[in-house]
């Protein structure tokens, strides 16, 4: 019989275990992150026109804090996959996702990005969720700008309700440690 079988285990809820200051900081970070989304539009097909109309003055995605598209994955935190992804593009999309900094979110824009659409053949990826995790799916062929704004608001609610943590100074920086290992290896 192990010691863990004998000793009583006390469990607490996560919300009750976090302190007041940590909750306050988490709410502040959630508010700031949900209204400062830097999008990386990975547009490949006809849905790209609908993405452009969402950024136009009539629908104005800038009201939701997502007006500045970034065309470098290192400067973006929201990957909007807009259109059909074929199997040759899948490794490129995965690399773009891996190059994005944390925290990062993914939106599947349109039915082709969500499920492959009506392209049920050997060359088309049947949903981007087979290679990268997706946070919000926006249906439609092509989706209306109002649907895109609804999807963006769903993502903002998800971001605002997440638990955001301050970095623990006791933990090493993973990126810096990886860079130091690469320098030591001479690459």
Q: What are the C-alpha distances in Å from 162 to residues 26, 27, 30, 40, 135?
A: 8, 9, 7, 21, 12
| Residue whose C-alpha is closest to residue 149's, from 28, 41, 62, 30 | 62
Residue 46 annotated as lining a ligand binding site? yes
Residue 141 annotated as lining a ligand binding site? yes
The dihedral built from the CA positions of residue 166, 170, 173 and 174, taken in this order, carries a sign that is: negative
Interhelix angle for 20-34 vs 145-161, to 10°?
160
| Residue whose C-alpha is closest to residue 79's, from 100, 60, 59 | 100
Q: Are 85 and 113 in contact (CB under 8 A)?
A: yes
Annotated binding site for [4Fe-4S] cluster: 46-47, 112, 141
Annotated binding site: 46-47, 112, 141
């Amino acid at each position: 019989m192990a010691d863990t079988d004998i000793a009583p285990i006390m469990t607490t809820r996560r919300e009750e275990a976090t302190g007041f200051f940590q909750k306050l900081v988490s709410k502040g970070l959630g508010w700031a992150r949900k209204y400062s989304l830097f999008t990386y539009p990975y547009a490949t097909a006809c849905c790209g026109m609908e993405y452009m109309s969402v950024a136009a003055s009539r629908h104005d995605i800038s009201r939701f804090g997502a007006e500045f598209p970034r065309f470098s994955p290192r400067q973006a935190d929201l990957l909007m996959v807009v259109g059909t992804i074929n199997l040759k593009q899948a490794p490129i999309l995965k690399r773009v996702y891996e190059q994005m900094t944390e925290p990062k979110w993914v939106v599947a824009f349109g039915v082709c990005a969500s499920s492959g659409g009506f392209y049920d053949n050997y060359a088309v990826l049947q949903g981007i969720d087979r290679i990268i995790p997706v946070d919000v799916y926006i249906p439609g062929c092509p989706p209306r700008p109002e649907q895109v704004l609804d999807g963006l608001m769903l993502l903002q609610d998800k971001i605002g309700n997440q638990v955001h943590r301050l970095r623990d100074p006791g933990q090493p920086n993973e990126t810096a440690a990886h860079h130091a290992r690469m320098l030591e290896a001479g690459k």
